[in-house]
Structure 1
Amino acid sequence: MDSPLPRIDDDVYRTLVENAAEGMLTIDEESDIVYANPAVEDILGYAPDELIGSSKMKIIPDRLEPVHAAALDSYVTTGERNIDWGGIELPALHKDGHEVPTLISLREHEHGGDQYFTGIIRDISEQRRREDQLQAQRDRLNEFADILTHDIRNPLSVAQGYTELARETHDSPELERVADALDRIDDLVDDVLELSKEGHSVGDAESVGIADAVHESWNSVETHGATLQLEDELGSITADRSRLRELLENLFRNTIDHAGADVTVRVGRLSGDAGLYVADDGPGIPEPVRADVFEHGYSTTEDGTGYGLSIVTQIVEGHGWEITLAESAEGGARFELTW
Structure 2
Amino acid sequence: MKRGPPTDPSATEDGDSPGPVPCGTGGLLEAADVACFRATGAGSIVAANDAFAQLTGYAPADLRERSLDALFDDATLGSLLRNVERDSPTSEPVSVRTKTDSVPCTVHLERRSRDDTDGGPSITGIVRRRDVTTRSAVGSESDITYGRTFEALADALPDGIIVLDTNSDVQYANPAVERILGYDPDELVGSSKVEIIPERLRQTHLSALQRYLETGERHINWTYVELPGQHTDGHEVPLGVSLNDFTYDGDRYFVGLFRDISPRKEAERTLTEKVVQLESVSYLGRHALESTDIDELLGKASDLVAAALDAEHAAVFEHEAAAPDREALRLRAGSGLDIPDGATASVTDSIAAATLAGDDPVVIEDFESDDRFDGPSLVDDPDVRSGITVTIGPATDPWGVLDVYDTRPREFADHDVDFLESVATILATAIERQGYERRLNETVAELEASNERLEQFAYAASHDLQEPLRMVSSYLQLIEDRYADDLDADGREFIDYAVDGAERMREMIDGLLEFSRIDSQGDPFELVDLDAALEDVLTDLQVMIDRSDAEIAVEPLPEVRGDASQLRQLFQNLLSNAIEYSGDESPRIRVAAERTGGEWEISVADDGIGIDPDDQDRVFQVFQRLHSREEYDGTGIGLAICRRIVERHGGRIRVDSEPGEGTTFTFTIPAAGSR
Normalization by structure 2: what TM-score? 0.26
- Structure showing greater radius of gyration is 2
Q: Which fold has the larger relative contact order, with Cα–Cα distance below 8 Å and residues 6 or more apart in sequence?
A: 1
